[in-house]
Amino acid sequence: MQKIKIGGLAGLSYLSGYFDRDGQEALLEQIRTIVSEAPLFQPVMPKTGKPFSVKMSNCGPLGWVSDINGYRYQPTHPETGKPWPEIPDTLLDLWCEVAPDAPKPEACLINFYETGARMGLHQDRDEQMFEAPVVSVSLGDSATFRVGGLKRKDPTSSFRLLSGDVVVLGGEARLAFHGIDRILKDTSTLLKNGGRINLTLRRVTPAD
Ligand code: MD3
Ligand code: FE
C-alpha cells in the first residue's frame, strides 16, 4: 500500500492497493450478503425521473436514495421498507484508520456499475456536515475517475481507480466536483460477470 496525493486539492489521498486480493474477496462476500438483504435498486433523477445507469444499495443506519422527489438519506430501503443492514467491521476498521478524528460513518453507499454505466460530474452535499471525509473503496473492473475543483467549470483531471484502491476525500477535496467517466471492461477477475462496485462511507449528521 502506498499513499499518493493527487491534483491540487489538499485533503484528497489515494491509497493504491489498500485491499489485497484476499481482502477484496472477503469484502465482496460481505457485500453480497448485504445486497441479498437490501437488493440493488435503480435510482431516478429528481424532477425528470430519468434512471441512473448505476444501481445502488446501502448499509448503515442511513442510506442515500434518489427519486422523483429529490436526493436524501433515509433509514430504510425504498422498495422493501426494511432498515439497511449493518456496515461490516472491515469497513468500520478502514474508517478508523483513515479518518481517526471523525465520528463513526452512518452510511455506506454501494454503487454497482455495469460496463456501460457512468456517473456525471457532481458534488456530494446531501450530508449535514462536511468535516468528515468521504472514504471510497473500489472493487472489480477499473474505472476512469474525474475530479475537478469547487466550481463545476474548474479544470478537471482524471485517473484510474483499480480493484482494492481506497480514496479519502477530506479537507478542500470533500466538496470537489467528481464523476466516473467509464468502466474499463475485463480489467479485473474479481466479479465473475465483470462490472465495478464502489463503496463510499459517509458521516451524515453532526457528531453526537
Ligand atoms: C471526490 N461515487 O457515490 S467514489 C458517489 O466511484 C460517487 O462510484 C464514485 O461519486 C464512484 O457519490 C466516486 C470517490 C469519491 C467520492 C466522493 C468524493 C470521490 C470524491 C467527494 C469529493 C471529491
Ligand atoms: Fe460522489
According to the 3-state scheme, what is the secondary structure of 36-71? Answer: HHCCCECCECCCCCCECCCEEEEECCCEEEEECCEE
Residue 200 Cβ contacting ligand 1 at under 6 Å: yes
- Residue 166: which region, alpha, beta or left (left: phi > 0; alpha: psi -120 to 50)? beta
**Percent of the chain predicted with pLDDT > 70:** 97
Q: Which ligand approaches the C-alpha of residue 9 most closely?
A: 1
- Among 118, 124, 139, 156, which is best to mutate for testing ligand 1, by the most ligand atoms less than 8 A from CB? 124
pLDDT at 2: 67
Q: Which one-letter amino acid corresponds to residue 200?
A: T
pLDDT at 1: 66
Q: Is the pTM of this model over 0.75?
A: yes
Q: Which domains does the chain have, with CATH numbers?
A: 2-109+126-202 (2.60.120.590)
Q: Annotate 160-187 with b (16+ C-beta within 10 A) or e (fewer).
A: ebbbbbbbbbbbebbbbbbbbebbbeeb
What spacing in Å lies between the alpha carbon of 134 and ligand 1's midpoint? 8
Closest CA to ligand 1's atom 13: 179
C-alpha cell recorded at residue 87: 456496515
Looking at every residue in the chain, the average pLDDT score rounds to 95
For 47-65, the pLDDT digits (tens) are 999 999 999 999 999 999 9
What spacing in Å lies between the alpha carbon of 95 and ligand 2's midpoint? 17
For 116-167, the pLDDT digits (tens) are 999 999 999 999 999 999 999 999 999 999 999 999 999 999 999 999 999 9
Average confidence (pLDDT) over 161-180:
96
pLDDT at 9: 79
Please tell me the distance from the alpha carbon of residue 183 to that of residue 21, in angstroms, as a whole number.
Answer: 19
For 83-120, the pLDDT digits (tens) are 999 999 999 999 999 999 999 999 999 999 999 999 99
C-alpha cell recorded at residue 51: 434512471
For 16-45, the pLDDT digits (tens) are 999 999 999 999 999 999 999 999 999 999
What spacing in Å lies between the alpha carbon of 136 and ligand 1's midpoint? 7
pLDDT at 7: 66
Q: How many CA atoms lie within 13 A of 160 on its CB side?
A: 10
Residue 163 Cβ contacting ligand 1 at under 6 Å: no
